[in-house]
């Protein structure tokens, strides 16, 4: 059970102390090798779990995406681990030394979602290892085949005193989040995150939450509508929109909505000229429950007056083609909930300020996509909005760049992993002040305001604090 495993790993962490650079580097090297070795097995397993998922997507998004995270950590690990010298306050400068050391937190819990079980478990694991931690992973219940591959590839290189994996056999996932981890990473929905936070609060466990949300794709007046439609469509068809940073809805100039809709349909048919029914190159919605959730949003929008354009024939099964929704209104579920599927609502706007007001009035998204050739306009939009990350003139590519943090803001999460920010997230930044034996800190000792010591104390008090405002009352220092 998780509580026994956590106690055992915490005990081992205390006994062993922080792992050395070479040990961490060797573990990352082994993980990279395993990702390459098991890529075919994982791709087949993911296709089995989803009822059809393209091998290209499994390799690009999960295998290669994770490999890039590992590579970046391997290249930069020594620099990340090195203590950082800092300048002491002037009063304490001279022979004294001040530095920040990065200490592993201990045992990190990682809860991965069903849409990317490898990338969103082994990506955070990479950061945990780089920071010198041990890890316990909870894989999703909906991906048993992928879980088995992940368990096998990890078991071959890590013993159960370093990394432990639970999967669908853990019948009550809340048993995991209720444990007193030294840090807990959760990727998933806002609804589940609230219960995770409540569990973590009982132990004051620090959290990293990556939650998704409704990521807008904004098409500026100056940008070519057909090109924007092509790239946004790609964002919606990759894994059939089952990606936390997929474009959730599009904001398009009002007079170009019809052209944009037609561009999306043309792009979809360009990607899949033979349609998607029984086509292995198009990702299936993972199960009937998720399909019914998406269809419920679609039906709700249609009942409330949305116009639906289907990009290709559909047989009603889980390979659901992209549906473009225009004439949408705020009372529709599709405009209130994260879509996480092949639906693309399109909202028309009259003026750039309307876009800013629309996006800013809603919870901060995990990603924001802006299509504009005008650098000044792009800077203005970014300065007036908030999101976890941004890609300009495309979608999603900021996430696969392992040198930058990945995380949300506000309702889309907090904290981050990837890059040096992830390393520091899973480390305790520990300041160390080393007083030189000759440095006279006894000058700060009592008694105060007497003799030569008092002169020194008055001097530095006035130097740093200045004089109080006599008109406010209060007793001047030294009186």
Residues that are catalytic? 210, 244
Q: Rounded to whole angstroms, how far apart are CA atoms 258 and 478?
A: 76
**Secondary structure (DSSP) of 313-329:** ---SSSSPPPEEEES--
Measuring CA to CA, which residue among 345, 167, 326, 107 is closest to residue 241?
345
* 26 sits in which H/E element: helix 21-37
Our CA angle for 218, 223, 224, nearest 5°, is: 115
| Residue among 233, 193, 249 nearest 365 (CA) | 249
Count of CB atoms situated within 10 Å of the CB of 477: 14
Task: Give the span between the Cα atoms of 136 and 126, in whole angstroms.
Answer: 12
Whether 225 contacts 48, CB under 8 Å: no
215/217 Cα distance (integer angstroms): 7
With contact defined as beta carbons under 8 Å apart, do 330 and 350 qualify? no
Name the token pair of 426: 């899973």
Give 221-282 as a DSSP string.
Answer: TTS-HHHHHHHHHHHHHGGGG-STTS--EEEEEGGGHHHHHHHHHHHHHHH-TT-STT-TTS
* Cα(274)–Cα(265) distance, integer angstroms: 13
């Amino acid at each position: 059970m998780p509580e026994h495993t956590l106690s055992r790993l915490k005990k081992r962490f205390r006994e062993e102390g922080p792992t050395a650079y070479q040990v961490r580097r060797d573990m990352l090297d082994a993980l990279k090798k395993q990702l390459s070795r098991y890529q075919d097995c994982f791709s087949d397993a993911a296709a089995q779990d989803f009822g059809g998922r393209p091998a290209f997507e499994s390799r690009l998004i999960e295998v290669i995406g994770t490999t890039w995270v590992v590579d970046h950590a391997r290249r930069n690990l020594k620099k990340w681990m090195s203590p950082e010298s800092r300048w002491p306050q002037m009063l304490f400068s001279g022979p004294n030394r001040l530095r920040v050391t990065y200490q592993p937190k201990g045992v990190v819990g990682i809860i991965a979602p069903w849409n990317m079980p490898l990338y969103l478990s082994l990506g955070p694991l990479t950061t945990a290892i780089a920071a010198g931690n041990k890890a316990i992973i909870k894989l999703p219940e909906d991906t048993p085949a992928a879980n088995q591959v992940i368990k096998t590839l990890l078991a071959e290189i890590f013993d159960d005193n370093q990394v432990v994996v639970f999967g669908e056999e853990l019948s009550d996932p809340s048993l995991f989040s209720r444990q007193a981890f030294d840090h807990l990473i959760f990727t998933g929905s806002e609804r589940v995150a609230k219960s995770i936070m409540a569990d973590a609060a009982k132990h004051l466990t620090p959290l990293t939450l990556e939650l998704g949300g409704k990521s807008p794709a904004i098409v500026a007046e100056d940008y070519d509508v057909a090109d924007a439609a092509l790239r946004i469509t790609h964002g919606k068809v990759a894994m059939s929109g089952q990606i936390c940073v997929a474009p959730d809805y599009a904001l398009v100039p009002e007079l170009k909505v019809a052209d944009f809709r037609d561009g999306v349909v043309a792009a979809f048919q360009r990607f899949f000229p033979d349609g998607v029914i029984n086509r292995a190159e198009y990702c299936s919605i993972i199960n009937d429950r998720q399909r019914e959730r998406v269809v419920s949003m679609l039906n709700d929008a249609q009942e409330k007056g949305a116009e639906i354009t289907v990009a290709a024939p559909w047989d009603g099964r889980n390979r659901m083609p992209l549906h473009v929704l225009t004439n949408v209104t705020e009372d529709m579920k599709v405009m209130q909930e994260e879509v996480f599927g092949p639906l693309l609502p399109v909202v028309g706007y009259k003026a750039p300020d309307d876009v800013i007001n629309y996006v800013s009035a809603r919870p901060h998204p995990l990603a924001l996509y802006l299509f504009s050739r005008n650098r000044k306009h792009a800077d203005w939009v970014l300065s007036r909005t908030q999101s976890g990350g941004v890609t300009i003139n495309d979608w999603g590519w900021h996430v696969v760049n392992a040198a930058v943090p990945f995380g949300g803001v506000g309702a889309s999460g907090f904290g981050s992993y990837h890059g040096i920010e992830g390393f520091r997230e899973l480390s305790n930044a520990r300041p160390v002040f080393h007083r030189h034996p000759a440095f006279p800190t006894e000058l700060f000792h009592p008694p105060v305001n007497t003799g030569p010591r008092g002169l020194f104390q008055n001097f530095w008090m006035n130097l740093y604090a200045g004089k109080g405002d006599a008109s406010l009352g209060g007793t001047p220092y030294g009186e």
